[in-house]
Amino acid sequence: MLIKKPSDVRPSEITPREVYQSRRQFIAGAGAALASASALALPSAWLDERGYRADDPIGEAMTPEADAKRYNNFYEFGTDKSDPAAYAHEMTIDPWAVKVDGLVKNEKTFGIEDLLSGIDMEERIYRLRCVEAWSMVIPWIGFPIKKLLDKVEPLGSAKYVAFETLFRSSEMRGTRSLFSSIDWPYVEGLRLDEANHPLAILAIGMYGDVLPNQNGAPIRLVVPWKYGFKSIKSIVRIRLTDKEPPTTWNLLQPSEYGFYANVNPTVDHPRWSQASERRLPSSLFDPNRIATRMFNGYEEVAPLYAGMNLRRRY
């Protein structure tokens, strides 16, 4: 079965179909790969063979894999960028289930195998822009969110999709910190039409491997036109609702972090400019600063916000 390529997804951003002969070839052969974040059963050096590690199909240098895996925000494990890589291995991801409920015809709790059943994997090479004004370019492996939502059949009254991260304090030392101001679990949300856009995906891998724990194993959201905090990690629940759901950073600082969080170089964070970003890797002597683009360069999503005041609805 061929992967259908939606008209508003650039063909260059999707890996050729032969890389993913089937879902089972993609994740089988590695035993407990999803649980241990070991290598996927993919053709050897397939990223190198296709040149993706040097320059990706969107015409920008790929972020080195080591940087993407060791420089993270995942406050459940600590607030330093190195904390997730140091401590996220303490999170158990086997077994794992994702509950999908709310305003749907078929509420269901999916095990990972059931969730991926009948869904072809695709590679999407996307820019990732953090609200802190740094950025990366990462090759994700996953599938459009809509393919999962179609399995549960949203009701006509559903307008939003709420997401929730795993909260297991015994395995997430950052949640035990006396200095944490977050009301766990971490929650996020999208409008239903945003979630249904072909660019919005649920990722289960990156750089040809399953997701490492620090990057949101075993399944995370990736919404490339929004700031990175919208792309919630280690998802355990997806809920359809008719009301705008609460989101963690908006609850903490609503004047700084809006519900939409679309990348917008003309709307500054109250404490820093968003006009440019530091593309990793960078250093004191080579800051590697580049101009930020509206919607992170994904202008095809602009019709989702037609008529909206994006300075007020940030």
Q: How far apart are CA 178 and CA 172, in angstroms?
A: 13
- Is residue 173 in a domain? yes
Q: Give residue 192's domain range.
A: 11-305
pLDDT in tens, 30-77: 333 333 333 333 333 444 554 444 445 567 889 999 999 999 999 999
- Is residue 237 in a domain? yes
Q: What CATH number does the domain containing 297 carry?
A: 3.90.420.10
How many other β-carbons are positioned within 10 Å of the β-carbon of residue 152?
A: 20
Give burial (CB, 10 Å; 0-12/13-18/19+) of 119.
middle
pTM equals 0.85
- pLDDT, position 96: 97
- pLDDT, position 198: 96
11, amino acid identity:
P
- Is residue 6 in a domain? no
- Is residue 314 in a domain? no
- pLDDT, position 61: 86
- Is residue 2 in a domain? no
Question: Residue 16: is the preceding peptide bond cis (ω within 30°)?
Answer: no
pLDDT in tens, 64-123: 999 999 999 999 999 999 999 999 999 999 999 999 999 999 999 999 989 999 999 999
- Is residue 208 in a domain? yes
pLDDT in tens, 295-313: 999 999 999 999 999 999 9
pLDDT in tens, 156-189: 999 999 999 999 999 999 999 888 899 999 999 9
Q: What are phi and psi of 287, to 5 degrees?
A: -70, -15
DSSP β-bridge partners for residue 142: 122, 203
Nearest to 7 by CA among 198, 139, 140, 203: 198
- pLDDT, position 179: 85
- Is residue 168 in a domain? yes
- pLDDT, position 49: 52
Q: For the chain, give the mean pLDDT.
A: 86
Residue owning tokens 């053709």: 43
- pLDDT, position 6: 41
pLDDT top residue among 178 and 233? 233
In percent, the amount of the chain with pLDDT more than 90 equals 76
> Biggest alpha carbon distance in the chain?
56
- Is residue 162 in a domain? yes
Banded model confidence at residue 232, pLDDT cuts 50, 70, 90: very high
> Domain total for the chain?
1
Banded model confidence at residue 3, pLDDT cuts 50, 70, 90: very low
